[in-house]
Amino acid sequence: MLQVWRLQQVAAILTLVLLALNLSIQLYDKLSWRGGLFESSYTAIPFIMLLLVAAIWGFSIFWDLKMKMWREQSAVAIERNPYAKERLYSKEIANYSMMFLPILDNLGKTDPEAKAAAESVRSWINNALAEDPSAQIEWKELQEFIGQVPDKVKRLGKK
């Protein structure tokens, strides 16, 4: 398993390097005008390889920043800190505020314990949103994704 783990650590980088090297050698064969910098394969292939690596790197930055395919919180969600159990993720905030709080509020009209539980959950959500700026951003993104959000939910993070 140790050897597999070691191989996996470098596999992504090696795959990209070998892909760029393979493509640069193939592209060098297609250059019919080979002059100047491209006259020798010792200079042309590394140059083409650097161009390909720059193109792949540029696309990966675009993919990350503009397409938002990776999230900073994804790694944290996978390896959740066992000592931060009071922290809420945006999905939990959405579940509690859109599903459980309306039920507790409705039950709280007749049951004082349900009303106290609703206020406790509401203050927990408000504290989580106040303490974590990334949770606020993700909560706003979720609201935009979901679409129409009831007025009570929109007022949750506001004072």
pLDDT at 47 over 80: yes
Domain closes at, from 65, 83, 102 = 65
Q: Which residue has the higher pLDDT, 151 or 137?
A: 137
Task: Tell me the backbone φ, ψ of residue 21, rounded to 5 degrees.
Answer: -65, -45
pLDDT at 120 over 90: yes
pLDDT at 128 over 60: yes
Exposure of 44 in the CB half-sphere (CA atoms within 13 A): 19
129 closest CA partner among 94, 105, 83: 94
Of the chain, the percentage scoring pLDDT greater than 90 comes to 16
Same domain, 104 and 146: yes
pLDDT at 81 over 70: no
Helix and strand numbers (H, E) in the chain are 8, 0
CA distances from 138 to 132, 142, 159 (A): 10, 6, 19
Same domain, 59 and 105: no
10 Å Cβ neighbour count for 18?
Answer: 10
Same domain, 98 and 57: no
Could you tell me the pLDDT band of residue 82, with boundaries at 50, 70 and 90?
low
Q: What is the per-residue DSSP string for 53-104?
A: HHHHHHHHHHHHHTS--S-HHHHHHHT--TT-TT---HHHHHHIIIIIHHHH
Same domain, 52 and 81: no
Same domain, 80 and 61: no
pLDDT of 75? 47
Task: Write out the residue range of the structural domain in which residue 21 sits.
Answer: 2-65
Is 33 among the domain residues?
Answer: yes
Domain total in the chain: 2
Same domain, 47 and 81: no
